Amino acid sequence: MKKVAVIGAGTMGNGIAHTFAQSGYEVALIDLSQDSLDKGLSTISKNLDRMVAKEKITEADKQTTLGRISSFTKMEDGIKGVDLVVEAATENVDIKLKIFKNLSEITEDHVILASNTSSISITKIGAATNRPDKVIGMHFMNPVPIMKLVEIIRGYATSNEVTNQIMDLSKKLGKIPVEVNDYPGFVANRILMPMINEAIITLHEGVAGVEEIDTVMKLGMAHPMGPLQLADFIGLDVCLSILNVLYEGFGNPKYAPSPLLVNMVMAGKKGAKSGEGFYSYTHGTKELVVADSFKK
């Protein structure tokens, strides 16, 4: 593989594009919005600047990496000549199915179609295409350039050949791939999201406050970040979406999202990206401040 396309220039998409480009691949970064593309490229440049400052790469390395990334607002232009497409659009099943159906019609037959979905069935996504054997999950972790894990999810029809190719490719990116089967939430979010949901329920029931819950998990369980802060970092809307996939997929009430989480998302409190979740976020500040809604 020499050239890849990445669909979506948001947090995950620009991180995936950064990682591929830094590993020597030509990258076509595709998004409907030029503004999103500009923001994504700016984020990549800033993240590379941090690596230069830490002397992990040189300024020349940074420029070479940026030079490997081209941006496009039309999918048809961006996918020309690619060997792999990695979709990193919003975690919405209808949007993903539409993207993959379109991709299977406009890409060459040999092109592998991967999704960075964190919970949606790869089998279902593959069934929307004309080549389910070449559809696979590549679930990167955030921040992509730093985190080593990639969950490789086999759909029901995903071929051994494609799985092996993507496992090998992930290693070439400097990642550690772990192969898992296609069940709701896969492994990472099937375990993580119920923990985050339980932390939210614990808060909702008044067992302890935001800082207290996070402190217990950080100091008692050696977590680098408390579950409520992590939820803010992931995005409360994303957490809700994944929990709904788990709840609908298994039909088990233990996956039902907390009413508090549902209300916060409806109220537009989506975490760090919206400026407020369980904590309040002011641009440039390093201090976490509990949101007014949860102060006693």
Tokens of 95: 């949007």
18 in active site = no
174 is in an annotated binding site: no
Which residues make Cβ contacts (< 8 Å) with residue 80, sequence separation at least 6? 28
Tokens of 8: 């979506």
Q: Which of 26, 87, 151, 276 is catalytic?
A: 151
218 is in an annotated binding site: no
118 is in an annotated binding site: yes
E runs forming strands in the chain: 3-7, 26-30, 69-72, 84-87, 112-115, 135-140, 149-154, 176-181, 279-280, 289-290
**59 vs 69: CA distance, rounded Å:** 16
Evaluate the omega torsion of the peptide bond into residue 143 and state whether it is cis, within 30 degrees of 0: yes
273 is in an annotated binding site: yes
254 is in an annotated binding site: no
Q: Which of 14, 47, 71, 118 is catalytic?
A: 118
Q: Which of 139, 170, 197, 241 is catalytic?
A: 139
Q: Which of 104, 121, 170, 189 is catalytic?
A: 189
Which residues make Cβ contacts (< 8 Å) with residue 110, sequence separation at least 6? 83, 134
Using the 8-state DSSP alphabet, how is residue 96 labeled? H
142 is in an annotated binding site: yes
58 is in an annotated binding site: no
205 in active site = no
8 is in an annotated binding site: yes
205 is in an annotated binding site: no
91 is in an annotated binding site: yes
Using the 8-state DSSP alphabet, how is residue 226 labeled? -
Using the 8-state DSSP alphabet, how is residue 183 labeled? S
C-alpha closest to that of 156 among 130, 139, 178, 136? 136
What distance, in Å, lies between the first and last C-alpha atoms of the chain? 56
244 in active site = no
139 in active site = yes
Binding residues, as ranges, are 8-13, 31, 91, 96, 118, 142, 273
Active site members: 118, 139, 151, 189
Binding residues for NAD(+), as ranges, are 8-13, 31, 91, 96, 118, 142, 273
